[in-house]
Chain A
């Protein structure tokens, strides 16, 4: 079964750091690009970051550029998001997502992990 499972969310103080993980299974992880998408409580979806299959190409949303770092370990079938200098507005459910069977769309999503930034 194709699956993405996020972990690492929790409560962190403003200015703090957190590292999210996304474990992939059921497909050849190293062949596919990956993304992080977030959703603040009661709000819409916001694309956060993209990483190509080989890690050679990386993009970030302007709202997280310079604070968040996306990475992956193809040997461990895992995707990461290092989040530094966290702000209250970073509070959200964070999803990992990927285009598997289609080129320009996210056809596989994880269940999400909640990040709360609060003192």
Chain B
């Protein structure tokens, strides 16, 4: 099965900061990658699909890029409501695995 490795595992940042989270696939997955945001006690929320397409209703400060094995999620200017855990997920094989998550905390 394709493995996804996110980095960093945790990150401290301040409101207004620009933040980048990386997701690396163990083999090429074209652009079949999604990003989710999850807050405690809640179901995940889709942010980005097809590596770089912004889900309807998601603020434009979120963006995704990459293809093949290397992908990034960027938040251009952190807002208080963005402090959460972020996951990538691949759709290129018979198992739709997730990365281990990146916890974004307030500095």
Chain A, interface SS category: loop
| A104 engages B32 (CB within 8 Å) | yes
Residues from chain B with a CB closer than 8 A to the CB of A106 are: 34, 36, 44, 46, 89
Chain B, interface SS category: loop
Among B1, B43, B45, max chain A CB count under 10 A is at: B43
Residues from chain B with a CB closer than 8 A to the CB of A47 are: 89, 95-98
| B1 engages A104 (CB within 8 Å) | no
Residues from chain B with a CB closer than 8 A to the CB of A112 are: 43
Q: Classify chain A: how many residues form its interface, as a range.
A: 20 to 34
Residue of B nearest to A104 (CB): B91
Q: How far is the CB of B20 from chain A (nearest CB, A)?
A: 19
Among B1, B85, B96, B97, max chain A CB count under 10 A is at: B96
Q: How far is the CB of B101 from chain A (nearest CB, A)?
A: 4
| A111 engages B43 (CB within 8 Å) | yes
| A101 engages B98 (CB within 8 Å) | no
Residues from chain A with a CB closer than 8 A to the CB of B43 are: 95, 97, 109-112
Q: How far is the CB of A119 from chain B (nearest CB, A)?
A: 27
Q: Using a CB–CB distance below 8 Å, which chain B residues touch chain A?
A: 1, 32, 34, 36, 38, 43-46, 49-50, 53, 55-56, 85, 87, 89, 91, 94-101
